[in-house]
Amino acid sequence: MNIILNNSKEEIPFSDQITVEELLKYKKFSFKLLIVKVNDKLIKKDEFSKSIIKEGDTVDVIHLISGG
C-alpha cells in the first residue's frame, strides 16, 4: 500500500488499509505527544485504533514539543 507520510512517499506492507494505531506501531512512533492528521482531518488519540488509512491517503504525524 502506498501513502504519503510526512510529505514523503511511503510503501507500507499492508494490503489495502491500516489503522492509525497500526501505522504508528509499524513506523515506531513512540513519542507521547503526537498529533495525527489523515487527509488534513485531525484524528483524536482515542480514535487511533478505529481510524483507517487507505491507499493514496496523506498522513501527517507531528511531535508536540514544549519547553521554556
Q: What is the pLDDT of residues 2-57, one digit of tens each?
A: 999 999 999 999 888 999 999 999 999 988 899 999 999 999 999 999 999 999 99
User: Looking at the whole model, is its pTM more than 0.85?
Assistant: yes
Cα–Cα dist 12/23, whole Å:
9
Q: How far is CA 1 from CA 14, 32, 54, 64, 66, in A?
A: 6, 26, 8, 27, 34
In the block, cell 507521547 appears at 32
Tell whether the model's pLDDT for residue 68 goes beyond 80: no
H or E element in which residue 35 lies = strand 34-38
Fold of 2-63: Ubiquitin-like (UB roll) (3.10.20)
Please name the amino acid found at residue 41. K
Three-state DSSP state, 49: coil
